[in-house]
Structure formats: structure tokens, C-alpha cells
Amino acid sequence: MKKLLLILTAIFAIEATIGTATISANTNGKAIRVFVTPDHQDWNYECGERPVFNVLVLKHHTPMQNVEISYIISEDKMPERKSGTLLLKEGYGKIKLGTMRDPGFLRCEVTVKDGDFTYSGYAAAGFEPQNIKPTVEMPEDFDLFWMNALRESAQIPLEPVLTLQPDQCTYHYNVYNVKFRNGAKDYFYGVMTVPTKPGKHPAVLQVPGANVRSYKIDKNLVDLKSVVTLIVGIHGIPIDMKGDVYDNLKYGALKDYNRINIQNRDKYYYKRVYIGCSRAVDVLASLDFVDASRIAVCGGSQGGALSFTTAYLNPKVKCLYAYYPALSDLTGYLHKRGGGWPNLFRRSSDDYLRNDNVMNTIKYYDVVNFARKIKVPAKVALGYNDRICCPTSMFSTYNSIPGEKSLLICNEIGHYTYAEMHHDRNKWLLERLK
């Protein structure tokens, strides 16, 4: 009886720590649940400390008896450091991870086999993440490079075209497809909501995560009744095409677009992207129903990265909110630690990128260097279990912000968001756009 009480106490402690949302996110309705949780409530440790990970395996909501687990311990996005197996007689056990001498993250992944199925759970312990320093270098002419790019771009008129979409309009806001010039023969496309209430309104630019796809309005973005919103795509193609055109581009001409012309800093794919997002702010500021003194930018993943670049490039941006920013500290892998998406130097197939031309290009596009330069309030939301944009890379960016900043950590999340995070974003943005 005493042992059963101990197990139930462990279950309640772990579920209290990770929250019900984690259960849903990690299990996807599967019969077996694998929970992995560090023994510090905030998942943080001092360098040299030795975390203990609690492991709980439930089958049909009941601790699984005599279950063998396999575990792998590794530093963030790096090769396996240690592995092993452990028999959990009553579904609950502990794994000692070892430690880290330098700031970073140590991850424990646990798998369980049951019949023909394999189940897994994982978590990461953070070792002084507030002290993680970036590896990417800042070029001396960083400001000059982007100032010249902006000056060249300014020669191209915006010529925005707003096309009403009557079938999407509501009593509170109208919806428009938007098109504006980003070059001599290059356009950006997006979708905008405009409050029906007359007057000048604050505006939020939402910049996109990675992929090639269509775009629709985001009804979870701030208060559409009182704020103008603009969501843009970055690839110079309309955002509402039908059929399989996006997949054809995704696996064809735009495959691995994040590597296109990476050998040349002046022709790298993201140059027109960064400039185009800045011009989207100019479009908003030019509209007679937008208060140009109240414009914010937000986005997640690639969009988190573009939030930083846009805030640096365009002084009209008043604040930024970034979910799990990508393109952060890309050179981390060259220093034997995790780097940011798109993980340019992680695979041996990317060895062709390890040359001086690429190294030079990256310095001008790594989000860390934009974070070092921004002068507006910034908020970053991230999770320790993100294996797309690893937390080591994201803290490299966050720790580089010199001015007003704040951090929302949902330790257990991966590369996704909770509804509560959307609420936090909207509340934070609206407070600064008053």
C-alpha cells in the first residue's frame, strides 16, 4: 500500500509539473504514455549539478508493470552521449543524466516498446541558459551592408494594391488580399484585416514560418475589431492559389530555399525576404487607416527570426514578439553544440557549406546579430523540448538583446504553441500599441 501511494504521488507530481496540455501533446491519444521530467520544477540547473529525470510509463492511465525502457542522453541537437536500458517494476523510475560544465541543454529521450508499437517521451535540463553566449561573429560593416540594401530598395515604389474579399468580411472587419512591389519585377503578397470602425488603428505585421503554402487571416491574432493585421508570404507568389501549386514549388524550384545563393551575401535568398518584410511595415505605415506610430511585428520559427530582422531594418516597428526564433546562431554546430534551424552544418551532406563564402554570408543573416542591434521592446516565447529550433540557439539570440526584453518559457513544449501563449502575445502587443 505504501509503495502504491508513492507511485501515485509521483504521478501527481509529474502531471502537475508538465500540465495536462503536455499529456495531450505528447501522446496523441495513444494507449501508452511516457513522461520524462527533470527533478527541478523550472528544469534549470547550475553548471556542474547532476539532474535526475523522473520517468513514468502509463498504460490505460495505469502505471505499466515490469516495463523495460531504453534511454538516450545527449546535448542539444548533438550526438548521443550515453544510452542504456532500465526495468521499471511498477512503471516509475529515475535516470541520472550526468552534468554539463558549460551553459547549455542536456536531453533525455525514453522509448518503450509494446508489441509492434514504440512510444517515446523526452525532456531537457537547462544548465545556466541565461549564460549561453552566441558563436556567430558580428561583421564590422553589418550596419553599412543593410543600410545600402535599404537605400537600394527605397528606389522601388511600394505601389500597394488592396483587393477586397467580400466573402471573408465580417461586421467588425474587412479582409483584403494585398500585393506590393519588392523589386523591379518582384512582389510580396499577403492578406490584411481592417476594422470597419473609422479612424486610425494600430497595426500588427505577422511574418511567416518556413514553408511554401497559402495564407489566410489569423483569427487568433490580437483584436481584429480594433487592430489592422497583415500576414505576408515571402516567396513572391500569390497566397491564395488553388491545387497543388505550392507543393510543386516546395519540392521543385523552392526546395531548400534557405540555401539558395548562400555562397554570396548579396544574392542570398533571405536578402529579398528580409527587405520585403521591412517594406511590408512601410506599406502599413502608408495607409490612411493605420497609425504609423503604433506598428508591431510578430511570428514563430522562421517568423520569429523575421520579427527580429524587421524590427532592426525598419524603425517604424515599435515592438516585436517572437515564438521560438529560427536562424539563430547558425554556426553553433561548428563549435560542437546545437545551432539554429535550418541546421546548415549538422549533416555530413552539408559539408559543401563549410567554406569562407558561406561563413561570410551567414554573419549578415544570423538572427543573433539582428538581436544585438534592436532598440525596441522584445518578448520571446520558447520551450526546452523544441527539436526544430533548439533552445541553445534561441537563448543565444535572447541573451544578445541589449535593451528591454522578457521571456516566456513553457518548458515542456516542442515546436508548437499553447492557446495561453497566443493570449500572452496578444495581451503583450496590445499593451504596447495603446
> Residues with catalytic annotation?
301, 386, 415
Name the CA dihedral angle for 147, 148, 149, 150, rounded to a multiple of 10 degrees.
Answer: 50
230 three-state secondary structure: strand
Q: Which residues are CB-contacts of 43 (< 8 A; sequence separation ≥ 6)?
A: 123, 124, 125, 126, 384, 411
The H-or-E segment that residue 22 falls in is helix 20-27
Strand order in the sheet with 44-45: 44-45, 117-127, 104-114, 67-75, 80-88
Strand partners, 164: 176
Quote the distance between the C-alpha of residue 230 and its chain's center.
19
Where b means 16+ CB within 10 Å and e means fewer, 78-104 reads beeeeeeeeebebbbbebebeebeebb
d(CA 127, CA 66) in angstroms, rounded, equals 33
Rg for the chain (alpha carbons), in Å?
A: 23
User: Which amino acid, 94?
Assistant: K
- Nearest to 37, CA basis, from 58, 54, 13: 54
Q: Report H helices in 194-262.
A: 245-250
For residue 330, the 8-state DSSP code is G
The H-or-E segment that residue 37 falls in is strand 32-38
Residues 70 and 111 sit within 8 Å (Cβ to Cβ) = yes
Q: Report H helices in 236-355.
A: 245-250, 269-286, 302-313
